[in-house]
């Protein structure tokens, strides 16, 4: 117990929590936007890898860091465009299209990495974002600008969804696309736009990993974070504020399990600690499942003219 | 733009669609080969020869196809009932570990029982382990509406960590000099080889037999009908009297068991013990194979051989030319997506407003 209090009292712990939460915030907001429009985007795991790789590669080739971020978001948007083509234009199964894109984006990224760096054993590094020392706020100063962007994006997303006509149209398309179509809104355009924008955010989540949290790209970097974002969206009841809460909660337990490993005696195998975040995600899903307020048209393919 | 169902779907179009898709995939992948700076035609030549060009290549391909057939069947039967089982990877490892636990513990001698019975028990344990692993998410979906895609995916990570913990601890092979592998399966329980000097084992005909069996079950039994009905339209099926919970449970047990058996067959036929890198993503590849086969059990065998050939061929090709093996995954993923698009276009017409 005193171990636990010592961990919580250490400001480095909270710095780690914010750092771990940042890609989760971006990814969860991205999935949230897609699902609010009625589309489950299972390509997130692959898009995060693609964003991580392309952003890092751009910076390695000499581009400034923010240009690398833009490249990563562009890569995410392109993957999102493909996903939208398959699921919205062609109304294919969203599960299969998403999983196919995850596989495609991941394997393309790994292939590109191997072609670009055939003989390296340790991944080449870049100069990542620097912490925002000048801010002066205790835990936030140790973070990079991308974390600040993530935190600002949460109220921005809420404002977009709840206070703008575009947000209303997106939500309408996710609840009842037939009604939206009859009002003159183009379901195709709105869903495609939401998926492309959401996927750009997922690419940004990946870019954070290579350009801020770490300074190089390596295999298995994303390690299931994309799937956790999908779980977090359900936990967040598709609301941006709760998404932030969910991401912070998850990051809290992820940071905690690592420090508990170091603090605790070696009685429990370390793998048990590593399981904790995944098990908690499943638990969170089960707990909120009963009250889940799904966007009504989620995962239902929409074919114009069909009932 | 919108989609309009074609009045008359030519059966030829449906058969040729996958081939057209694969040609498109190869054309796109050729760009990747050029990016790597390798000549296109010789590279494909190496790949095809490596996967299908000699008896040895065929044995390697078929050896690789054996677990893929089983995970493909697992995914096919689950997806047919719209139970999206993405957890085949974890179920495979759980099955492998269960088989070794029954057939290999106690100093490699297993329990004191005649070998045939021990083999059956080991396989049964593997099937049970996989089945139980999928039962949780399936029930969560049926009773609570929790999306099974995420739960089965997250379970994969949990199971792999659990296997890693067991391999470091209770199931560790004491004679392996600290290398994290499990105790070995009793020698007499290993599957016999089909071809001298190659790795091909009797797991392959067993997997093919299971595929025929699954096809028969889906086509002729009441349970098979229930599965297909619930997959096509759950509400209509429930209205017609198909018991929803019982069907989902049955499908989950069957799918998980097949994936668990895939792990057991790998241990008994290829490796002899369990390691953490035993499966280079067989569970996930099984999903792609099931989709390529249109969820048809017999088609799964063909799709598994195709994917295995591409994977084995890519290994050979990467040794001859400077093209990374990841191109195999790119080929498989883009085959999947282009087959989906091609099959759709064979059935629907695109109308631009």
Tokens 């058969």 found at: B15
Across A204-218, A288-302, B25-39, B203-217, least confident range: A288-302
**pLDDT per residue over A168-182, tens digit each?**
999 999 999 988 888
Model confidence at A18, in pLDDT bands (50, 70, 90)? Answer: very high
The torsion angles phi and psi of B5, rounded to 5 degrees, stand at: -65, 135
Q: How far is CA A288 from CA A191, A238, A244, B103, in A?
A: 26, 12, 16, 41
| C-beta atoms of A100 and B151 within 8 A | no
Chain B positions touching A281 (Cβ under 8 A) are 150, 154
Contacts of B155 in chain A (CB under 8 A): 278, 282
Is residue B172 predicted with pLDDT exceeding 80? no
Q: Does position B110 have pLDDT exceeding 60, yes or no?
A: no
Report yes or no: B238 at the A interface, CB cutoff 8 Å: no
Hey, is the C-beta of A279 within 8 angstroms of any chain B C-beta? Answer: yes
Selected residues 253-312 of chain B with any CB under 8 Å from a CB in chain A: 284, 287-288, 291
Q: Is A281 in CB contact (< 8 Å) with chain B?
A: yes
Give the tens place of pLDDT for each residue, A238-248.
Answer: 999 999 999 99
DSSP-assigned states of every residue in B164-227: HHHHHTTTB-TTSTT--BBPPPPGGGSPPBSSTTS--BTHHHHHHHHHHHHHHHHHHSHHHHHH
Q: What letter does residue A134 receive in the DSSP assignment?
A: G
With an 8 Å Cβ cutoff, is A303 touching chain B? yes
What's the pLDDT score for residue A102?
Answer: 94
pLDDT digits (tens, 9 = 90+) for A43-72: 999 999 999 999 999 999 988 999 999 999
Q: Is the pLDDT of residue B187 over 70?
A: no
pLDDT digits (tens, 9 = 90+) for A75-91: 999 999 999 999 998 88
Question: Does residue A305 register a pLDDT over 70?
Answer: no
Q: Is the pLDDT of residue B180 over 80?
A: no
Burial B92-103 (b: 16+ CB within 10 A, else e): bbbbbbbbbbbb
Measured between alpha carbons, how far is A278 from B287 in angstroms, rounded to an integer? 22
Query: Which positions in chain A touch B32 (Cβ < 8 Å)?
Result: 108, 111
pTM for the whole thing?
0.90
């Amino acid at each position: 117990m005193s171990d636990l209090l010592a961990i919580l009292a250490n400001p480095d712990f909270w710095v780690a929590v914010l750092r771990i939460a940042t890609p989760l915030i971006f990814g969860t907001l991205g999935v949230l936007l897609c699902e609010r429009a009625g589309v489950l985007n299972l390509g997130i795991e692959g898009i995060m890898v693609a964003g991580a790789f392309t952003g890092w590669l751009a910076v390695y080739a000499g581009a400034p860091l923010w240009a690398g971020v833009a490249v990563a978001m562009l890569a995410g948007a392109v993957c999102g465009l493909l996903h939208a083509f398959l699921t919205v234009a062609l109304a294919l199964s969203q599960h299969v299209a998403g999983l196919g894109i995850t596989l495609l984006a991941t394997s393309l990224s790994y292939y590109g990495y191997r072609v670009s760096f055939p003989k390296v054993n340790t991944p080449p590094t870049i100069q990542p974002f620097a912490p925002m020392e000048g801010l002066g706020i205790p835990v936030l100063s140790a973070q990079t600008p991308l974390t600040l962007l993530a935190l600002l994006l949460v109220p921005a997303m809420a404002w977009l969804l709840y206070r703008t006509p575009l947000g209303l149209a997106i939500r309408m398309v996710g609840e009842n696309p037939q009604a939206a179509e009859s009002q003159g809104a183009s379901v195709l355009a709105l869903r495609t736009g939401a998926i492309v924008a959401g996927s750009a955010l997922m690419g940004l989540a990946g870019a954070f990993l290579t350009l801020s949290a770490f300074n190089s790209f390596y295999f298995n970097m994303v390690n299931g974070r994309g799937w956790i974002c999908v779980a977090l969206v359900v936990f967040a009841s598709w609301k941006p504020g709760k998404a932030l809460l969910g991401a912070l909660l998850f990051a809290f337990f992820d940071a905690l399990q690592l420090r508990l490993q170091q603090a605790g005696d070696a009685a429990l195998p370390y793998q048990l600690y590593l399981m904790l975040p995944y098990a908690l995600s499943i638990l969170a899903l089960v707990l909120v499942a009963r009250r889940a307020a799904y966007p009504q048209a989620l995962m239902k393919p929409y074919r114009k003219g069909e009932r | 733009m919108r989609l309009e169902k074609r009045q008359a779907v030519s059966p030829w179009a449906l058969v040729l669609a996958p081939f057209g898709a694969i040609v498109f995939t190869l054309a796109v992948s050729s760009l990747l080969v050029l990016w790597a700076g390798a000549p296109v035609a010789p590279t494909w030549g190496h790949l095809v020869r490596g996967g299908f060009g000699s008896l040895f290549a065929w044995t390697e391909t078929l050896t690789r196809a054996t677990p893929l057939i089983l995970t493909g069947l697992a995914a096919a039967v689950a997806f047919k009932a719209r139970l999206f089982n993405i957890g085949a990877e974890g179920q495979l490892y759980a099955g492998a570990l269960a088989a070794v636990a029954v057939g290999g513990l106690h100093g490699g001698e297993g329990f004191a029982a005649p070998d045939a019975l021990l083999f059956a028990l080991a396989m049964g344990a593997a099937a049970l382990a996989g089945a139980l692993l999928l039962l949780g998410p399936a029930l969560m979906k049926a009773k609570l509406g929790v999306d099974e895609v995420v739960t089965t995916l997250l379970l994969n990570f949990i199971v792999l960590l659990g296997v890693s913990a067991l391999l470091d601890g209770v199931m560790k092979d004491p004679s392996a000099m600290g290398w994290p592998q499990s105790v070995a399966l009793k020698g007499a329980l290993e599957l016999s080889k089909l071809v001298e000097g190659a790795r091909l084992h009797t797991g392959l005909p067993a997997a093919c037999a299971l595929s025929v069996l699954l096809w028969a079950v889906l086509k002729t039994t009441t349970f098979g009908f229930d599965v297909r009905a619930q997959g096509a339209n759950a509400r209509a099926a429930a209205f017609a009297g198909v018991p929803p919970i019982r069907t989902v449970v049955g499908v989950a047990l069957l799918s998980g068991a097949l994936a668990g058996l895939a792990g057991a067959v790998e241990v008994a036929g290829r490796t002899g013990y369990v390691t953490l890198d035993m499966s280079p993503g067989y569970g996930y590849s099984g999903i792609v194979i099931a989709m390529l086969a249109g969820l048809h059990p017999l088609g799964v065998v063909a799709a598994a051989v195709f994917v295995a050939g591409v994977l084995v061929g890519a290994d050979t090709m990467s040794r001859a030319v400077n093209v990374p093996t990841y191109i195999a995954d790119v080929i498989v993923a883009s085959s999947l997506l282009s087959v989906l698009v091609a099959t759709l276009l064979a059935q629907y017409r695109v109308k631009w407003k």
